[in-house]
Amino acid sequence: MTAFDYWSITQGALATISLSLASIVLGVPLGLALALVRWARVPGLNGIVYSYVSIVRSCPTVTLTLLVFFALPQFGISLDPVPAAIVALTVSTSAFNCEIWRSALVEFPRDQYDAALSFAMPRATRMRRIVLPQVWRASLPGLVNEMTLQIKSTPAVAVIGIVEITRAALRVGSNTYEPLPPFIFALVLYGLIVFVLIRLQRMIEVRLRHGGIA
């Protein structure tokens, strides 16, 4: 492997990181919105969100990516590989995030909500000042854990031709006829990314225990 080969796999790492970052930035709030729909038991929507989460959670990311990339053009929406990948990853992570947010919302003590209600706080303030800060704190570890899983499912978008770490390593391997070194380098890169996320999670957990960030 030449220095250029190493560089091309590292560039793949940039694609992996930015794709997962984009899907996380979109998927976390979307998950919260879905969880709020289920929490508030919005009639009609509740059932839809329930089925959505159940289907997406059991759907392989590869299949979902193929569905988004090949099927949307049938309805006149044709996406380039990168937006299609972001859509597929966002859809999949939002379902998992919805469950994380929802379990925090379910465990949220009802009496606090009622107390805020008895102070005649409007609904938006109640959410912003009372519910969200605590729910956010409770779901943060779960959300970071889901981010680690998200990084590991990004190779799925390689099937629509996006060059991320795994595909870059595959390319180098088929050029040099030595598949092992690029794959091991790719493994090291994934290890680094996951390691950083796990450290981040530990740091957050320690700070939460000391009653830090809200």
29, 95 in Cβ contact below 8 A? Answer: no
DSSP code of residue 155 = G
Q: State the Cα–Cα distance between residues 114 and 70, nearest whole angstrom.
A: 48
Q: Is 17 in the site for other proteins (CB under 8 A)?
A: no
153 phi and psi angles, rounded to 5 deg: -100, 0
**For other proteins, which stretch binds (CB under 8 A), given 28-36, 114-122, 181-189, 202-210?**
181-189
Q: What is the DSSP string of 68-113?
A: HHHHGGGGT----HHHHHHHHHHHHHHHHHHHHHHHHHHHS-HHHH
Q: Is 7 in the site for other proteins (CB under 8 A)?
A: no
**For other proteins, which stretch binds (CB under 8 A), given 3-11, 49-57, 105-113, 123-131?**
49-57
Q: Is 165 in the site for other proteins (CB under 8 A)?
A: yes
Q: Is 67 in the site for other proteins (CB under 8 A)?
A: yes
Binder of other proteins out of 86, 130, 151, 160 (CB under 8 A): 151
**With respect to other proteins, which residue has the nearer C-beta, 97 or 116?**
97
User: For residue 49, how many other CB atoms are within 10 A of its CB?
Assistant: 20
DSSP code of residue 189 = H
Binder of other proteins out of 57, 128, 199, 202 (CB under 8 A): 57
What's the closest the beta carbon of residue 25 comes to other proteins, in angstroms? 21
Binder of other proteins out of 42, 70, 128, 161 (CB under 8 A): 70
Q: State the Cα–Cα distance between residues 180 and 27, nearest whole angstrom.
A: 34
95 phi and psi angles, rounded to 5 deg: -65, -45
Binding mask 83-122 for other proteins (x = CB under 8 A): ----------------------------------------
- For the chain, counts of helices (H) and of strands (E): 9, 0
- Under the rule (CB under 8 A), what is the footprint of other proteins? 54-55, 57-64, 66-67, 70-71, 73-75, 151-156, 158-159, 165-166, 169-170, 173, 178-180, 183, 186-187, 190-191, 194-195
